[in-house]
Amino acid sequence: MLPKTADIVIIGAGALGSSIAYHLTKRGARDILVLERESIGSGSTSKAAGGIRVQFATRVEIEFSLRGIAFFKRFEEEMGAPCDFRQEGYLFVLTRERDLERFRKNVALQQSLGADVRIIAPDDARAIVPALRVDDAIAAVWGPMDGYASPNDVVQAYAAQARARGARFVEGTPVTGIEVAGERVAAVQTPAGRIETRLVVNAAGPQAPLVGKMVGLELPVDPRRRHIFVTDAFTEIQHPLPLVTDTATGFYCRSEQQAILMSPGDIGAQTEYAASVDWSVLEQAVEKAVRRIPALERARVRHAWAGLRPLTPDGRGILDWAPGIEGLYLAVGFCGHGFQHSPAAGEMVAELLTTGATSLDLSDLRLGRFSRAG
């Protein structure tokens, strides 16, 4: 049974919505209702590769990464469940001067904030990954703090811990409308009934723009499909393979136990919500894979999945109040890093909703940056 009222309604139980619920309850908030149209974590979060890196261009995003890494390190102690966090590193292979310039600038900022990231020579990259082809590389960037964790374990733990402190998660219940009275949120509608509330968080992932439309708000978030392919056990290359990215092509891969998990990056433009596997993408994935790690020619792909990344025009997420509608908060558009930034994003939203302020400066994540000229 749905409650008739809630202090805070969160739309979507993905990494972001569940983390916000967890952090709110950790700060003492109790009357939290999370409405999920399918099941906890079933959206983009369960499709993520689990990657966690400090390679970001803005201060706030790097701080989110560092907080995320610290959280994943203490995860089992704080959350009472494992999340398979492995710091096996990220290795970016650079073949273009313009990428090197961009990375140099970003790495300097990352290092100034305490991150361990290094620009290394191609031969040093080969020392880390002997199977790597580097004859066309001009440099590589090595992040030994980086790694990956299990998105599903993390989202389930957020929900379990939030529930243990009194939050309610209701699955199979889509929000179909948001009622506004005057200029303030008054209630949300679902097929199972209406819930009165003065505070709603839109954490609907790729579907966030559809939730925005319920109150006439256009959100600059577009769904973009990405594929992941996983091979059979493949022992011709040394495990653990760090997450290797070919920066020019967008291809990346890493160890998944003794197998290889790989993605060709984004292929083609797309603004639909379909996330089924298109097997014709495999050919491009293999071509990119073999160009960077020739031995992968002999690996056999065992299975695949695809998911939607909620993309914004500048690749940064949005944490902000919705303009013109009091009581509607946006935690949307976290592109390809919403899983790894969910600990810090959840913490920031919980701080804001319980105290009116945040301990990190979120101005680079404001919605208004897209309407400003220049």
Residue 46 C-beta: closest distance to ligand FAD, Å: 7
Longest dimension (CA), the chain: 65
- List the 193-196 sheet strands across, edge first: 177-181, 184-190, 193-196
What is the rounded distance in angstroms from the CA atom of residue 25 to the CA atom of residue 229?
37
Binding residue (CB under 6 A) for ligand FAD from 6, 9, 24, 48: 48
The yes or no reply on residue 207 touching ligand FAD (CB under 6 A) is yes
The yes or no reply on residue 351 touching ligand FAD (CB under 6 A) is no
Residue 17 C-beta: closest distance to ligand FAD, Å: 5
The yes or no reply on residue 43 touching ligand FAD (CB under 6 A) is yes
Omega into 174 within 30° of 0, i.e. cis?
Answer: no
Count of residues in contact with ligand FAD, rule CB under 6 A: 40
Residue 138 C-beta: closest distance to ligand FAD, Å: 25
- φ/ψ of 369, rounded to 5, equals -65, -25
- Cβ nearer to ligand FAD, comparing 19 with 106: 19
The yes or no reply on residue 141 touching ligand FAD (CB under 6 A) is no
For 50, the token pair is 């689990």
The yes or no reply on residue 178 touching ligand FAD (CB under 6 A) is no
> Which of 229, 276, 218 is CA-nearest to residue 252?
229
What is the rounded distance in angstroms from the CA atom of residue 52 to the CA atom of residue 148?
5
> Which of 332, 338, 339, 340 is CA-nearest to residue 312?
332
Residue 196 C-beta: closest distance to ligand FAD, Å: 17
Q: Taking CB under 6 A as the criterion, which residues in 293-312 touch ligand FAD?
A: 307-309
β strands within the chain, DSSP E: 8-11, 32-35, 51-52, 90-94, 118-120, 139-143, 147-148, 168-170, 177-181, 184-190, 193-196, 200-202, 222-231, 243-246, 251-256, 259-263, 301-311, 318-321, 328-332
The yes or no reply on residue 174 touching ligand FAD (CB under 6 A) is yes
Q: Which stretch binds ligand FAD (CB under 6 A): 90-98, 121-129, 199-207, 293-301?
A: 199-207
The yes or no reply on residue 253 touching ligand FAD (CB under 6 A) is no
The yes or no reply on residue 189 touching ligand FAD (CB under 6 A) is no
Binding residue (CB under 6 A) for ligand FAD from 6, 8, 9, 11: 11
Binding residue (CB under 6 A) for ligand FAD from 23, 25, 32, 47: 47
- Cβ nearer to ligand FAD, comparing 174 with 327: 174
Cα(first)–Cα(last) distance of the chain, in Å?
Answer: 49
Binding residue (CB under 6 A) for ligand FAD from 23, 25, 33, 51: 51
Residue nearest to ligand FAD (CB): 14
Residue 123 C-beta: closest distance to ligand FAD, Å: 28
Binding residue (CB under 6 A) for ligand FAD from 14, 264, 327, 343: 14
Q: Which residue's structure tokens are 């790989």?
A: 262
Residue 369 C-beta: closest distance to ligand FAD, Å: 19
Binding residue (CB under 6 A) for ligand FAD from 94, 175, 195, 201: 175
Per the DSSP assignment, residues forming a β-bridge with 128 are: none
Contacts of 46 (CB under 8 A, 6+ apart): 151, 152, 155, 307
The yes or no reply on residue 162 touching ligand FAD (CB under 6 A) is no
Binding residue (CB under 6 A) for ligand FAD from 6, 140, 217, 228: 228
> Which SS3 state, helix, strand or coil, does residue 24 take?
helix
Q: Taking CB under 6 A as the criterion, which residues in 317-346 touch ligand FAD?
A: 334-340
Alpha helices in the chain (DSSP H): 15-26, 59-73, 75-79, 97-112, 122-128, 151-164, 208-213, 281-292, 342-355
Q: What is the DSSP letter of 115?
A: -
Q: Catalog residues that contact ligand FAD under the rule CB under 6 A.
A: 11-17, 35-38, 42-45, 47-51, 174-175, 203-207, 211, 226, 228, 307-309, 334-340
